[in-house]
Structure 1
Amino acid sequence: MPIESDHRASDSPYIARVWHGRSSGVESLTSVATSNWELVFWEFEGAMHAAVRGPETSASTVTAAGDSESFGITFAHGASMPHLPVPRLVDAELESPYADESVFVLRGEKWAIPGPDCAEDFVRGLVHAGVVTRDPLVDEVVRGGGAEVGSRSVQRRVAAATGLTQGAIRQIDRARHAAVLLREGVPSLEVVHRLGYYDQPHMARSLRRFVGRTATGLRRDAGEPLSLLYKIEDDERF
């Protein structure tokens, strides 16, 4: 396979997902929109790289020349880095000024590059050092929970922590979930009703914008390889 990936959930309130990927002979891929920011490490032509990638508000085509291996920590909604406000990172990334096979630089400090199995310990260290903080209210309301503060305060805190509005997060996550269901063979009409789209044209517009695919293309697995997709278990929040 030109692209292989595996991923897992995490019991850390700071982490949404931990993933590991490998590519071979891939010239380009479709980067699917995502409402989370992440810390990514990748090896290419013998050189190690590290970067913070912000949320992506639409699907895009990115180059992926040659063979490479990558590992990422996708952070939960509400987790952020005070020295790199997430709103500044929307549709952008910031590469570390230095990385080698064992360490990289973040906030002017050297950190050991973790592996997928020790992501939680690594993030725990970032939290202890004050590099990563968390607003638990944001994760709660994004999941569909209530808040004991006013709606304007909620909106400000969600925007500050994620760089996005609650509506944008919902649209992006719903499209990603729809793509997974369609690739699993769930009929389009069932996905429409299950995820609360108005109709099939509404879902089609959402898929084109956020996933860069049609429902038919997803079912046939046609087109460029896609970046990591995973099922969002809670259909009810859509």
Structure 2
Amino acid sequence: MSLIYEARSSSSLLVAGVARGLTTQGGRLVRPAENCWHMVVVRQGGEASMRLVGPWTGAGVASYGEGAEILWIRFRLGTFMPGQPVTGLRDQETLLPAATGHSVWLNDAAWPLPGIDDVDAFVERLRRAGVLTHDPLVQDLLHEPGSGLAPRTERHRLLRATGLPLRHIRQVERAQQAAALLGQGVPIPETMFRLGYFDQPHLTRALRRWVGHTPGQLLRAGEEHLPLRTRPLDAPSLH
């Protein structure tokens, strides 16, 4: 797959990031594990759709046809839909029913599909309507050993808001950090030491499972192991 790709941050506290891509050639690429879930808008051949995607509990393969314009809204850990448990989204793509050619049904209401420039306003409307909410306990648990709540309560709220246990989230984040270091040219032994991997086989197993590549592949190719071209948002529009 050949993909022109651009990304930006978001002013919404519910959103971890926003990205848009245009497939110039169809095909398949490795998709790493992902702790966060997404809303994904696909426009192709005059048609548009939205799906709820992930989180993904392991590396896999993604595929799109040629000429698809794709908008990814990546939600911050702890952001969830009270009417749609994140556990039900795990390792799945859920296509939302179309209301019109440019809107979808969500929580018994029709919502116009956003573009990259109005994602923040779209997310804020969802929040005000009660479609989206955020549990601040999730970030507290990621940075502190305990919240003072009963462990059972912590586990219940974490699973409701993320669909994942805390140990899994931390394993995926560590593998993502290792992949980033190797992509920057940090040697394998130093990467292992920085992130606390026991030995190289331990690191290799983690990266294969969560990222879909070996340390050697990431170190040799850096970020070029993905058939992806990036460019800043002030580059010419994809339209």
- Taking structure 1 as the reference length, the TM-score comes to 0.87
Paired residue total: 227
The aligned counterpart of 2:96 is 96
Q: In 2, Cα distance between the equivalents of 1:17 and 1:145?
A: 26
The aligned counterpart of 1:62 is 62
Q: In 2, Cα distance between the equivalents of 1:30 and 1:143?
A: 30
Say whether the 8 Å CA contact 1:29–1:64 is kept in structure 2. Answer: no
Q: Quick one: which amino acid aligns to residue 127 of structure 1?
A: R
Q: In 2, Cα distance between the equivalents of 1:210 and 1:183?
A: 15
How do residues 29-178 of structure 1 correspond to structure 2 at under 5 angstroms?
29-98=29-98, 102-144=102-144, 146-178=146-178
The Cα of 1:223 is off from its aligned counterpart by 5.8
Q: In 1, Cα distance between the equivalents of 2:11 and 2:48?
A: 28
What value does the CA root-mean-square deviation take over the aligned residues? 2.1
Bigger Cα Rg: 2
- SS of corresponding position for 1:154: helix
- SS of corresponding position for 2:159: helix
Say whether the 8 Å CA contact 1:33–1:172 is kept in structure 2. Answer: yes
Q: Quick one: which amino acid aligns to residue 220 of structure 1?
A: R
Q: Deviation per CA, 1:13-52: give whole Å up to 9, x if none.
A: 2111111122221311111110011101011233211100
Point out the structure with the larger strand share.
2
The Cα of 1:195 is off from its aligned counterpart by 1.9
Q: Quick one: which amino acid aligns to residue 23 of structure 1?
A: T
Say whether the 8 Å CA contact 1:179–1:215 is kept in structure 2. Answer: yes
- SS of corresponding position for 1:180: helix
Please say which of residues 177-186 and 95-104 is displaced more in the overlay.
95-104
Q: In 1, Cα distance between the equivalents of 2:192 and 2:144?
A: 19
- SS of corresponding position for 1:131: coil
Q: In 1, Cα distance between the equivalents of 2:58 and 2:88?
A: 16
Q: Does 1:182 align with 2:168?
A: no
Q: In 2, Cα distance between the equivalents of 1:48 and 1:143?
A: 39
Contiguous gaps of at least 5 residues in structure 1: 229-238
- State the percentage of identical aligned residues: 37
Q: Quick one: which amino acid aligns to residue 166 of structure 2?
A: Q
Say whether the 8 Å CA contact 2:182–2:215 is kept in structure 1. Answer: yes
Residues 199, 8 of structure 1: alpha-carbon distance in 2 compared, 3 angstrom cutoff: farther
- SS of corresponding position for 2:29: strand
Say whether the 8 Å CA contact 1:87–1:163 is kept in structure 2. Answer: yes
Q: Does 1:200 align with 2:200?
A: yes
Q: In 2, Cα distance between the equivalents of 1:81 and 1:55?
A: 13
- SS of corresponding position for 1:35: coil
Residues 22, 177 of structure 1: alpha-carbon distance in 2 compared, 3 angstrom cutoff: farther
Residues 92, 197 of structure 1: alpha-carbon distance in 2 compared, 3 angstrom cutoff: same
Residues 174, 6 of structure 1: alpha-carbon distance in 2 compared, 3 angstrom cutoff: farther
Contiguous gaps of at least 5 residues in structure 2: 231-239
Q: In 2, Cα distance between the equivalents of 1:195 and 1:9?
A: 26
Q: Quick one: which amino acid aligns to residue 19 of structure 2?
A: W
Q: Deviation per CA, 1:139-187: give whole Å up to 9, x if none.
A: 2212447413122221111111111000101111221222122112111
The Cα of 1:101 is off from its aligned counterpart by 5.5
Q: In 2, Cα distance between the equivalents of 1:174 and 1:24?
A: 32
Q: Quick one: which amino acid aligns to residue 73 of structure 1?
A: I
- SS of corresponding position for 1:194: helix
- Taking structure 2 as the reference length, the TM-score comes to 0.86
Please say which of residues 37-46 and 5-14 is displaced more in the overlay.
5-14
